[in-house]
């Protein structure tokens, strides 16, 4: 499946119908998700791998991994509404290799090959991304994680201090449409960095 075909499938997965500002539930754009996942496939991190999408929201990253041939995908989120949207999308896409976990990411304990995630950036609640940083380094061998670009140095140093090596970085612009009262513009663009890292000694 080429990237454009995947993007069109991911666009069919709805955004969160009633996002909560404190959870920073911004749905990843389908084109960005397709780019990240195709990169992961090319590096051998998806096909026949166990994958987790932490803070999955409606599941575009995790379900995309399932579409592309992951052996099993774990979708983890503490919001039942988001997880139900993801569950319905999995049924509509005919995906059976997906497990759904309604829980805080700190409670998730499955070991996986790869984590793909678009966690909260911590814009509304300082440190909201920290549990995601900690959990992914505990359970995976390879991680794809997206962060507000100005925090890149902190994230990279955090990973290095825990024995991880950054291998790839990509920059994206996320369009954020006006969803909450504190949004002043109809649409804003946020600079986002994708970081791929591997546990030292795993390659």
Distance, in Å, from the CA atom of 198 to the CA atom of 35, rounded to the nearest integer, reads 19
Q: Which residue from 5, 29, 3 is spatially nearest to 15, judged by alpha carbons?
A: 29
pLDDT at 127: 57
pLDDT at 30: 94
pLDDT at 12: 95
User: How much is the pTM?
Assistant: 0.89
How does pLDDT run across 145-172, given as a tens digit for each residue?
A: 999 899 899 999 999 999 999 999 999 9
Distance, in Å, from the CA atom of 28 to the CA atom of 56, rounded to the nearest integer, reads 10
Beta strand 142-148 with 187-199 is antiparallel
DSSP string for residues in 70-100: -SEEEEEES-HHHHHHHHHHHHHTT--SEEE
CA distances to 18, 98, 103, 145 from 51, rounded to whole Å, are: 27, 9, 17, 13
How does pLDDT run across 48-74, given as a tens digit for each residue?
A: 999 999 999 999 999 999 999 999 999
Task: Specify which residues 176 forms β-bridges with.
Answer: 188
Give buried/exposed letters for 168-184 (b at 16+ CB in 10 A, else e): eeeebebebeeeeeeee
Q: Which residues of the chain have pLDDT under 70?
A: 17-25, 121-128, 176-186, 202-203
pLDDT at 20: 65
Give the number of domains in the chain. 1
CATH code, 171: 3.40.50.150
Query: For residue 3, what are its two tokens?
Result: 């990237």
pLDDT at 126: 63
User: Which domain range does residue 23 map to?
Assistant: 3-199
Distance, in Å, from the CA atom of 62 to the CA atom of 59, rounded to the nearest integer, reads 5
């Amino acid at each position: 499946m080429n990237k454009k075909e995947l993007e069109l499938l991911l666009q069919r997965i709805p955004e969160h119908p009633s996002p909560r500002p404190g959870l920073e539930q911004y749905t990843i754009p389908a084109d960005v998700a397709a780019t990240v996942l195709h990169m992961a496939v090319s590096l051998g991190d998806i096909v026949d791998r166990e994958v987790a999408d932490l803070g999955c929201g409606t599941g575009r990253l995790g379900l995309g991994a399932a579409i592309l041939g992951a052996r099993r995908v774990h979708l983890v989120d503490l919001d039942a509404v988001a997880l139900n949207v993801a569950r319905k999308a999995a049924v509509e896409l005919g995906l059976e290799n997906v497990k759904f976990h309604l829980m805080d990411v700190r409670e998730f304990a499955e070991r996986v090959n790869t984590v793909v995630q678009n966690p909260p950036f911590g814009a509304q609640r300082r440190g909201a991304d920290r549990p995601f940083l900690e959990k992914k380094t505990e359970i995976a061998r390879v991680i794809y994680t997206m962060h507000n670009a100005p925090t890149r140095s902190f994230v990279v140093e955090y990973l290095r201090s825990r024995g991880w090596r950054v291998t790839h970085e990509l920059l994206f612009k996320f369009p954020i449409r006006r969803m909450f009262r504190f949004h002043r513009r109809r649409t804003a663009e946020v600079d986002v960095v994708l970081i791929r890292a591997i546990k030292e000694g795993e390659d």
